[in-house]
Amino acid sequence: MNKDAKIYVAGHRGMVGSAIVRNLEQKGFTNIIKRTSDEVNLIRQEEVEKFFKEEAPEYVFLAAAKVGGIYANNTYPAEFLYNNMMIEANIIHSSYKYNVKKLLFLGSSCIYPKIAKQPIKEDYLLNGPLEPTNEAYAIAKISGIELCKFYRKQYGCDFISAMPTNLYGINDNFDLETSHVLPALVRKFHEAKVKGQKEVVIWGTGKPRREFLYVDDLADACVHLINNYSDEMHVNVGTGEDIEIGELAQIIKNIVGYNGEIINDLSKPDGTPRKLLDVSLLESTGWKHKTKLQEGICKVYEWYLDNYSKEISF
């Protein structure tokens, strides 16, 4: 991409989209298009096509999505499936229709089977049943991958897909009802510390293993891929390292400075037992993550204290 290339970042206010914007700006890109959902409702085909016709972006980062943790995915499956499929279909089709040079679609590692050989390679997709608690979201993301693949096959579009592992970082969602595990734990331990609570409850056994990638590393990988990768195979983006949820909780507890006990609520689901990505394809293109987990969590907690914790009423 040239520094003055017209780049549309869909979902620029979200954690991933805002990180991509930061990365592009740091690299000297000067023509970044941003639109809020009030300005362009990505679920509405007519609005999306009008936007693409008027703005004619050259490159697209498709980071817009309805996202959430186990509770949100399991409680609102119809919304997760419908909203995400509409967003993807509208942007991908308009990118084809209005001659976008290259598009990068962002999926999620939940696309892979619940019980998959570890670490998970890209070609394990559709090789087994999905995790039921986030099946709707996974199906939507799989549809996005397939759309990119078939628009490439039928029309010759240079559309690629990246599959990030569990993400965390600046601008994360700390709502306990809809957030992912890491930001939820940051908030839980902080509130318990402030309130002087003697214990913090975490879901499940704490035994499932998860891989966590700092969102600014993902953004850097996305810009790298749009410049250096072109193929129908989606690319896993992660660290190649994982950790037990119970161990993660202990790390966050120490960073926050909470002195109480951690209690496991065994009535709550664990979700997928393990989800570690094989990142050899990504690394073969010349990219590797930079941010260590403890360093990243420290940055997140510092941001949380500055930007979010004051909004919470006790």
What does the pLDDT read at residue 219? 98
What does the pLDDT read at residue 314? 40
Q: Within 10 A of 302 (CB to CB), how many other CB atoms are there?
A: 12
Give the tens place of pLDDT for each residue, 159-181.
999 999 999 999 998 988 777 88
Helices and strands (H, E) in the chain, number of each type:
10, 13
Mean pLDDT, residues 265-290: 93
Ramachandran region of residue 126, left (φ > 0), alpha (ψ -120 to 50) or beta? left
Quick check: is 154 in a domain? Answer: yes
Give the model's confidence band at 309: pLDDT under 50 very low, under 70 low, under 90 confident, else very high: low
- Beta bridge partner(s), residue 213: 167
Quick check: is 186 in a domain? Answer: no
Mean pLDDT, residues 108-137: 92
Distance CA 58, CA 272 (A): 38
Chain centroid offset of residue 128 CA: 22
Give the tens place of pLDDT for each residue, 35-63.
999 999 999 999 999 999 999 999 999 99
Quick check: is 198 in a domain? Answer: no
34-54 per-residue burial string, b: 16 or more CB within 10 A, e: under 16: ebeeeebbbbeeebbeebbee
User: 164: annotated binding-site residue?
Assistant: yes
Quick check: is 194 in a domain? Answer: no
User: 166: annotated binding-site residue?
Assistant: yes
User: 44: annotated binding-site residue?
Assistant: no
Count up the domains in the chain and report the number: 1
39, 55, 57, 137, 304 from 120: Cα distances, Å:
38, 38, 34, 19, 32
Quick check: is 299 in a domain? Answer: no
Give the tens place of pLDDT for each residue, 67-122.
777 777 788 899 999 999 999 999 999 999 999 999 999 998 889 998 899 999 99
User: 210: annotated binding-site residue?
Assistant: yes
User: 95: annotated binding-site residue?
Assistant: no
8-state DSSP, 303: H
Burial class (CB in 10 A: 0-12, 13-18, 19+), 233: middle
Quick check: is 137 in a domain? Answer: yes
Give the model's confidence band at 310: pLDDT under 50 very low, under 70 low, under 90 confident, else very high: low
Catalytic residues: 137
Which range of residues forms the domain containing residue 224?
Answer: 7-170+211-241+275-290
What does the pLDDT read at residue 145? 98
Give the tens place of pLDDT for each residue, 186-217.
999 999 999 999 999 998 999 999 999 999 99
User: 190: annotated binding-site residue?
Assistant: no
Quick check: is 35 in a domain? Answer: yes
**First vs last Cα of the chain: how many Å apart?**
48
Using a pLDDT cut of 70, give the percent of the chain over it: 98
Quick check: is 201 in a domain? Answer: no
What's the CATH code of the domain at 74?
3.40.50.720
Q: Is 277 helix (H, G, I), strand (E, B) or coil?
A: strand
Taking all residues of the chain, what is their mean pLDDT, rounded to a whole number?
94
